[in-house]
Structure 1
Amino acid sequence: MSDVRTTCAYCGVGCGIIATPDGSGGAVIVGDAKHPANFGRLCTKGTTLGHTLSLEDRLLNPMIGGVQATWNEATDLVAKKFKETIEEHGPDSVAFYVSGQLLTEDYYVANKLMKGFIGSANIDTNSRLCMASSVAGHKRAFGTDTVPGTYADLDEADLIVLVGSNLAWCHPVLHQRIIAAQEQRGLKIVNIDPRRTATSDMADMHLGIAPGGDVALFNGLLKYLGDAGKIDAEYIAKHVNGFADAMAAVTPYSLGHVSSLTGLTPQELEEFYCTYAKTERVVTIYSQGVNQASDGTDKVNAIINCHLATGRIGGAGQGPFSVTGQPNAMGGREVGGLANMLAAHLDIENPDHRDMVQDFWNSPTLPTQAGLKAVDMFKACASGKIKALWVMCTNPAVSMPRADDVAAAIEVVDFVVVSDIVEETDTTVLADVLLPAAGWGEKDGTVTNSERRISRQRAFLPLPEQARPDWKIICDVAKKMGWGADFSYQGPHEIFKEWASQTYLSVLAGKDLDLTALSEISVDRYEGLEPVQWPVRPDGGDTRFFENGGFFTSDAKARMLAVHAQANSAICDLKYPYILNTGRVRDHWHTLTRTAKSAVLSQHISEPFLQINAADAADIGVETADLVQVNSPYGTAVLRAQVSDRQQVGQVFAPLHWTGQFSAKGRIDVVVPDLVDPVSGQPELKRTAVGISKFHARWFGFGICLNRPSIDSYYWASSRVKNGWRIEIADSNAPESFEGYVRETLNCPQGQAVSYQDPASGQQRLVIVDRGVVIGAFFAGPSPVYAARGFVSDALGQKDYKNLLAGASGADAPDIGPVICNCFNVGVNQITNAVLSGQARDLGDIGRLLQAGTNCGSCRPEISNLIANYRPKIAAE
């Protein structure tokens, strides 16, 4: 098969990809130089997409009660159960929980089925956890969910303010674009984040704000802009309401008051405010650190207020810019995938909008009020109100706050369906029926990225065994529920065409979303559709918004809102004295179902961790590599301690990715409360009061094996390596039979064991060799195990196991250390040695010496940080 142009499966940047199938079920992946989202750039996750296409662990056949079934049996049962439940208990007794990783066509038919034919608004999405506050803030300010920014603005701006966004790790291709502008034309970057991240290292100014301080910070900025005479009175008079009330609300926000609420010094505030005030072309990029808060919507509006007051919106290089976390979070918003929206940006509370949508679909009913948002949906599951639940393409038993309670709530539901590509997740194990969905590379449709650009995802692999596209699964069930004529699509082209036609309702309602130029799109044009930014009007026209007003309110004026900072205290107490922040790491994605398949991605960070300041670690009595227990009233997690000056005192950070399939105690959302923003319904995931204590294990282990391990220990974490698996273990006591335990855990009943024991230190080591090849190794002791993990892992499947029992490669092959550059397998020790030796003083030198940082660029921020940390030692010599 020839090259196929498609779109990346990960974040909301929406990078274009060229996939070339390799004939063995995989593909070679390169960036698409013609795609305007990335111009050929890819991050490390996108580059390794070809590593994630194996059918190992895939759900390939329908399952009923754990037993393989036919599609006819499965869809019959789903349709029957949902229909009976609706007839007995009403339409609000059922719910769909969907995902920003669905394609727009999938999302459209799911929304159509639930709202237009079942007659309930109980369809919500995991995008509620990432972008709902942006949606609500946009609607309050602009009248509709319009993202005014475009990626081209990043090339035009003179100042970019990054708020609650570790762009270097979460949206690396955009970060590289910004860094290029910084290097080429002196763009200034301000990074606002409670912790110092890879993004902070590349910024001109890092503001280590107190968690929850964003409203106060931007209220203070608005006051400063007013005092400095930087208000655009003409723009406000023509295009803005609410200015006087907003300005009155910020009167108390002097530098001193803002300092007390944000933890920033008056000098830091003055420098930031002055830089913003004197720079006309400002883009404020914000992401989960803003949205995932109990006052997330107010944070969004506080940011937007500053842009409206100065008229810095809609022009080149100007405006607030929400960057989405998932590949199709925007597409889901467009088709009404949230419980409080209708398709085409129409409002569910508006009877005229409801009438238009119902007429368009010719549907029997339409809900008259918003449905259950994510947190409330699972509470309704727990209470028995929801009696039939369909989860599509997401893993709420890991990703939702109070995740243990969510898992328990799903178990309460009478009938649970899960459509997924993976057979065993924390959520699929709770299902009555499993439906095998097509994965990335196997399905066709569209996605919309953060700048409103629609791109095609195209299939380049055949559907494996019984897997089907999500749209087809949904339509098959709809037909069996009695609505066959309304869900008789022959392919995604027909769905997209109907969806584009429906956006005419948005035009009629005076809204922003217009795809009407694509409403008669042919099959051939759909197949060849180039990336296109909406609005896509028949007469063409500008795709920018708001430079000259034209807001989507009744009087076409934007609204500035008077917002007030929450009291930023009293969330901690003696029992829970630390503030937990959660987020992503560079090389993993959501709940690991895709990225954990790649040994390359797992070598950067392979174990769940808690990043903690050295002073707090000393108080608790832990050091790097110790295990710590994180507690809240809702649950407990056990993580590997990572002591770092990147965390402020009193604050800790843990990644969200680890699941019950890859760790015993790594599901961090079990400790997070279900506190939500009252406007958006988005949970607070960035500010949880927790207690932390050392986990006093008496026995630690590290091992490698060819086959997936079978682990029975209190703490464990597993990850892929080149030829198999790596595991970390800790428990209260050592096993009675060391060799027996190792063979059972590593799934190595055969082979010859070579062992070493030191009774004095308690160290035990075992290497298992079969026909001269290493098939397993295990290192254990009463404290965290020292071994060169990379060297040991590389020995798996090899015949040369010299020095393996020692756990280190020896002087002839120095340990490269933890891998920083995945593309060229370059470790931290190689980089620091190059810097310390005087051979490398900048990124260019490292690239020439080691190749690190010269391909996808995802590692460049970390390399720069290493250079900065070690370069002074060169000068001292």
Structure 2
Amino acid sequence: MEGDSGVRSHCCFCSMQCAVRLEAKPSGEGLDLRPDPGFPVAGGRLCQKGFHAHLHVSHPERLTTPLVRRRGGFAAVSWAQALEEAAARLQSIQGRYGAGAVGVFGGGSLTNETAYLLGKFARVALRTPFIDYNGRYCMSSAAAAMNRSFGLDRGLTNPLDDIPAADIILLVGANVAECQPTMMSYFRRAQKRGGRLVVIDPRETATARVADVHLRIRPGTDWILMNGLLRAMIAEGWIDEDFIARRTSGFEAVREAAAPYTPERVEARTGVPAGVVVDLARQFSLAPRGMIFTARGVEQQVRGVDNVQACINLILATGKIGRPGCGFGAITGQGNGQGGREHGQKADQLPGYRSIEDPAARRHVARVWGVDERDLPGPGTSAFEMFQQMTAGRIRGLLILGSNPVASSPHRSLVRRALASLDTLVVIDILPSETARMADILLPGSAWTEQEGTTTNLEGRVILRRQATSPPGRARLDWRILCDLAAALGKGRHFSYSCAEEIFHELRRASAGGEADYFGITYERIERENGVFWPCPDLDRPGQARLFADRFAHPDGRARFFPVSEEGRRPEQPDMEYPFYLTTGRVVDHYLTGTQTRRTERLVRRTPGPYVEIHPETAAAFGIGDGERVRLRTRRGKAEYPAKVTDRIRPDTLFVPCHWEGDECVNQLTDDRLDPISRMPSFKCCAAALEKVGAEHTTSKGEDVHAFSGLREERSSAHSV
């Protein structure tokens, strides 16, 4: 059949991992890409990024030869020279300052094989505890809350096919229509059969515009709203006492913590009207089937774990989990954000989601790797804390693979200082990102069309990309570069593989018996079954698509409630000097820091640059017209953007998309304080000042900081529940 021609693969962008077919053009130059309707996840759909996902692969700026920084700039060298120099520099640093003086920074878009190998490289080839990855900025808050409550972190506890059966769905801080566009069809199917979609977000996003209910919550108050919903459920007798008694523990502490959050108090703190709080609590509780999904809007905060925990408490209190149309999901952002966090890129983790501090886990993985368990390092620090270690002089060398932390990290100026302070920075990438341009040694890696390997989508389905093209010029496959560098470091015997599938077989053994057990998954099964869900410990049995039908992953089989109270860090609050909330997020045309999508002309034409969304009332108060330049200031820096005046944002809130580098990078401004549990930075909520460029007018210190609270506007615009 014509539709079966070409190489089967999956889009490199979001966590839906939509299926595509890749085929060489008749001219022999480049690839044709089309959706693959034979794969169940997206039903043959692609978003605009997906249709153009192959174009950056052949961009003229593609890195094709190893480069070493010499006086006057980069010089092209042979692979032998580049690897020899990289190994010598890293060994020299470790010889002078110890193994922990070199760190490793990975990415959530790497294949499972490469992510696994990077973790092994850090702990075996370098023997350093310092490894983390950009997924720390994505899923860490949700992962921490799910592990605490369920004993297991898999983004969605249900397969996507369960969503249309829901009678009510809460999307909390999730702009699915722009971040995972092909996922929207599942929510629309639920609506068509009578289900209600409720979006909780300070902005009227593309997702909110198709919702039945949109609540414009005040930034940073999500956990307060969830506590208020729970309190209303308890007060009205709408909770599932039987489920709580049979399958959970810790509810009494949660009952006590929720008690102060009356509807009136919630309204005063969040801006959501008291009547709406009670109505939503009733509708969610009494619906036969309900689901809650969170994303970066609530997770990228200093109380990100609390926000997610409060959502999980609602699911457990109503017994809505473990069956079709009932469950919790944290919507993974990056292409392999799920698999990337399971097999060793995190600072405290070994393959299979094992703890690096667990003696049994260390023994198991050491046996698979053929090393002495005493030689495995302990836990390191989180992603942003690694940059703090650099500024303190403790980390003096760094290897980065497939990530652009200069643009993606908070407090960009600190990260730039940290990288500039290093004795040696080695970067493996395909395009000259802002981070890559700071490298001392720049190694050309492989794009998604050139790699063979597995990824794990947002529902926990392990899928397979097949190689369609070869890396251009002298570029090499990412996993091959790691093996070659390990050999240059004298550890080649531990990194001797002939193909990606060989690495995957070792990953299977390393993960066996862990929480994220891949042992029963093979390339052949993935192709035959259109992907295999984990956990899958047995070659002869299917993976587990729906979790927690009978028991949770804690040893006693019970889920855990955790109270969320006023104790803990508060988001940075507006004050006289910085009277607005600043939040960030994605737009549909771009992905992460834009290294790939900003090199795709068709996407750039649609969204050529960043902007700041400003409510008309706010714009009028500052004399700002649509398109005029404005300056934002926070306690970390300042940046200028054109104004986009829109009533789709609260008057007290400003929004800037996050996909640009340099002077346009919004992470010059964002808050670098971390959630105490997940170590997630507070990208989504900080205090900011606004001024029109060329004008002296700013909010004066004597002006009421609540002038832009937006409560009046919010009440009138919130859909009725």
Q: With structure 1 as the length reference, what TM-score do the two structures score?
A: 0.76
Of 496-505 and 640-649, deviating more is: 496-505
CA shift, 1:426, in A, is 1.2
Say yes or no: does 1:49 pair with 2:53: yes
Letter in 2 for 1:51: L
Letter in 2 for 1:531: G
CA shift, 1:357, in A, is 1.8
Please give the secondary structure, in 1, of the residue aligned with 2:642.
strand
Question: Of residues 580, 583, 586 in structure 2, which corresponds to 1:581?
Answer: 583
**Residues 621-770 of structure 1 mapped to structure 2, 5 A cutoff:** 621-660=623-662, 665-696=663-694
Letter in 2 for 1:445: G
Query: What is residue 7 of structure 2 aligned with on the other side?
Result: 4
Question: Equivalents in 2 of 1:253, 1:527: separation in Å?
Answer: 50
Question: Equivalents in 2 of 1:304, 1:569: separation in Å?
Answer: 21
What is the percent sequence identity of the aligned residues? 33
Q: CA RMSD in A?
A: 2.0
Query: Structure 1's 237 and 110: CA in aligned 2 closer, same or farther, altered over 3 A?
Result: same
Query: Structure 1's 564 and 636: CA in aligned 2 closer, same or farther, altered over 3 A?
Result: same
**Residues 30-69 of structure 1 mapped to structure 2, 5 A cutoff:** 30-65=34-69, 66-69=74-77
Say yes or no: does 1:613 pair with 2:615: yes
Query: Structure 1's 140 and 33: CA in aligned 2 closer, same or farther, altered over 3 A?
Result: same
Please give the secondary structure, in 1, of the residue aligned with 2:688.
strand
Of 543-552 and 335-344, deviating more is: 543-552
Say yes or no: does 1:162 pair with 2:171: yes
Question: Equivalents in 1 of 2:339, 2:599: separation in Å?
Answer: 27
Question: Of residues 426, 429, 445 in structure 2, which corresponds to 1:437?
Answer: 445
Question: Equivalents in 1 of 2:81, 2:399: separation in Å?
Answer: 17
CA shift, 1:696, in A, is 2.1
Please give the secondary structure, in 1, of the residue aligned with 2:9.
strand
**Residues 544-583 of structure 1 mapped to structure 2, 5 A cutoff:** 544-565=545-566, 571-583=573-585
> Is the 1:360–1:502 contact (alpha carbons within 8 Å) kept by the matching residues of 2?
yes
Question: Equivalents in 2 of 1:439, 1:188: separation in Å?
Answer: 40
Runs of 4+ residues deviating >3 angstroms: 364-369, 524-530, 544-549, 565-570
Say yes or no: does 1:15 pair with 2:18: yes
Question: Equivalents in 2 of 1:538, 1:463: separation in Å?
Answer: 33
Query: What is residue 708 of structure 2 aligned with on the other side?
Result: none
> Is the 1:6–1:19 contact (alpha carbons within 8 Å) kept by the matching residues of 2?
yes
Please give the secondary structure, in 2, of the residue aligned with 1:49.
coil
Query: Structure 1's 366 and 613: CA in aligned 2 closer, same or farther, altered over 3 A?
Result: farther
Question: Equivalents in 1 of 2:285, 2:651: separation in Å?
Answer: 31
Question: Equivalents in 2 of 1:32, 1:577: separation in Å?
Answer: 49
Structure 2 residue ranges without an equivalent (≥5): 696-716
Say yes or no: does 1:590 pair with 2:599: no
CA shift, 1:396, in A, is 0.9
1:697-744 CA-to-partner distances (Å, cap 9, x unmatched) read 9xxxxxxxxxxxxxxxxxxxxxxxxxxxxxxxxxxxxxxxxxxxxxxx
Please give the secondary structure, in 2, of the residue aligned with 1:271.
helix
Aligned residue pair count:
685
**Residues 62-101 of structure 1 mapped to structure 2, 5 A cutoff:** 62-65=66-69, 66-101=74-109
Query: What is residue 259 of structure 1 aligned with on the other side?
Result: 267
1:529-558 CA-to-partner distances (Å, cap 9, x unmatched) read 842222223341561455444222232221
Query: What is residue 411 of structure 1 aligned with on the other side?
Result: 420
CA shift, 1:336, in A, is 2.0
Of the two, which has the highest radius of gyration? 1
Say yes or no: does 1:287 pair with 2:295: yes
Letter in 1 for 2:591: W
> Is the 2:303–2:571 contact (alpha carbons within 8 Å) kept by the matching residues of 1?
no
* Structure ranking higher on relative contact order (CA contacts 8 Å, 6+ apart): 2
Say yes or no: does 1:250 pair with 2:258: yes
1:317-353 CA-to-partner distances (Å, cap 9, x unmatched) read 1111011110011111111211122210111222222
Question: Equivalents in 2 of 1:528, 1:477: separation in Å?
Answer: 35
Letter in 1 for 2:590: H
CA shift, 1:225, in A, is 2.0
CA shift, 1:581, in A, is 0.5
Q: With structure 2 as the length reference, what TM-score do the two structures score?
A: 0.92
Letter in 1 for 2:414: D
Letter in 1 for 2:256: A
> Is the 1:216–1:261 contact (alpha carbons within 8 Å) kept by the matching residues of 2?
yes
Letter in 2 for 1:21: A
Query: What is residue 130 of structure 1 aligned with on the other side?
Result: 138
Question: Equivalents in 1 of 2:277, 2:375: separation in Å?
Answer: 50
CA shift, 1:233, in A, is 2.6
> Is the 1:32–1:38 contact (alpha carbons within 8 Å) kept by the matching residues of 2?
no
Question: Of residues 391, 402, 407 in structure 1, which corresponds to 2:411?
Answer: 402
> Is the 1:25–1:461 contact (alpha carbons within 8 Å) kept by the matching residues of 2?
no
> Is the 2:49–2:603 contact (alpha carbons within 8 Å) kept by the matching residues of 1?
yes
> Is the 1:117–1:363 contact (alpha carbons within 8 Å) kept by the matching residues of 2?
no
> Is the 1:228–1:277 contact (alpha carbons within 8 Å) kept by the matching residues of 2?
no
Letter in 1 for 2:92: E
Question: Of residues 20, 28, 32 in structure 2, which corresponds to 1:28?
Answer: 32
Please give the secondary structure, in 1, of the residue aligned with 2:682.
coil
Question: Equivalents in 2 of 1:676, 1:556: separation in Å?
Answer: 31
Question: Equivalents in 1 of 2:164, 2:84: separation in Å?
Answer: 53
> Is the 2:87–2:488 contact (alpha carbons within 8 Å) kept by the matching residues of 1?
yes
Query: What is residue 244 of structure 2 aligned with on the other side?
Result: 236
Query: Structure 1's 392 and 354: CA in aligned 2 closer, same or farther, altered over 3 A?
Result: same
CA shift, 1:83, in A, is 2.2
**Residues 425-464 of structure 1 mapped to structure 2, 5 A cutoff:** 425-464=433-472
Question: Equivalents in 2 of 1:527, 1:316: separation in Å?
Answer: 25
Query: What is residue 198 of structure 1 aligned with on the other side?
Result: 206
1:275-327 CA-to-partner distances (Å, cap 9, x unmatched) read 11111211111110111010101111111111112211121111110111100
**Residues 324-335 of structure 1 mapped to structure 2, 5 A cutoff:** 324-335=332-343
> Is the 1:580–1:688 contact (alpha carbons within 8 Å) kept by the matching residues of 2?
yes
Query: What is residue 711 of structure 2 aligned with on the other side?
Result: none
1:247-302 CA-to-partner distances (Å, cap 9, x unmatched) read 11111111111112211111221221121111121111111011101010111111
**Residues 310-459 of structure 1 mapped to structure 2, 5 A cutoff:** 310-364=318-372, 365-367=374-376, 369-422=378-431, 424-459=432-467
CA shift, 1:567, in A, is 7.9
> Is the 2:572–2:686 contact (alpha carbons within 8 Å) kept by the matching residues of 1?
no
Question: Equivalents in 2 of 1:81, 1:373: separation in Å?
Answer: 24
Please give the secondary structure, in 1, of the residue aligned with 2:339.
helix
Question: Equivalents in 1 of 2:558, 2:243: separation in Å?
Answer: 10
Letter in 1 for 2:563: A
Say yes or no: does 1:533 pair with 2:542: no
> Is the 1:19–1:30 contact (alpha carbons within 8 Å) kept by the matching residues of 2?
yes
Of 345-354 and 285-294, deviating more is: 345-354
Question: Equivalents in 2 of 1:265, 1:528: separation in Å?
Answer: 51
Question: Equivalents in 1 of 2:148, 2:400: separation in Å?
Answer: 30
Question: Equivalents in 1 of 2:325, 2:504: separation in Å?
Answer: 32
Of 601-610 and 37-46, deviating more is: 601-610
Of 142-151 and 608-617, deviating more is: 142-151
**Residues 462-541 of structure 1 mapped to structure 2, 5 A cutoff:** 462-506=470-514, 511=515, 513-518=516-521, 521=522, 530-536=530-536, 537-541=538-542
1:720-779 CA-to-partner distances (Å, cap 9, x unmatched) read xxxxxxxxxxxxxxxxxxxxxxxxxxxxxxxxxxxxxxxxxxxxxxxxxxxxxxxxxxxx
> Is the 1:314–1:544 contact (alpha carbons within 8 Å) kept by the matching residues of 2?
no
Question: Equivalents in 1 of 2:285, 2:527: separation in Å?
Answer: 47
> Is the 2:572–2:687 contact (alpha carbons within 8 Å) kept by the matching residues of 1?
no
> Is the 1:2–1:21 contact (alpha carbons within 8 Å) kept by the matching residues of 2?
no
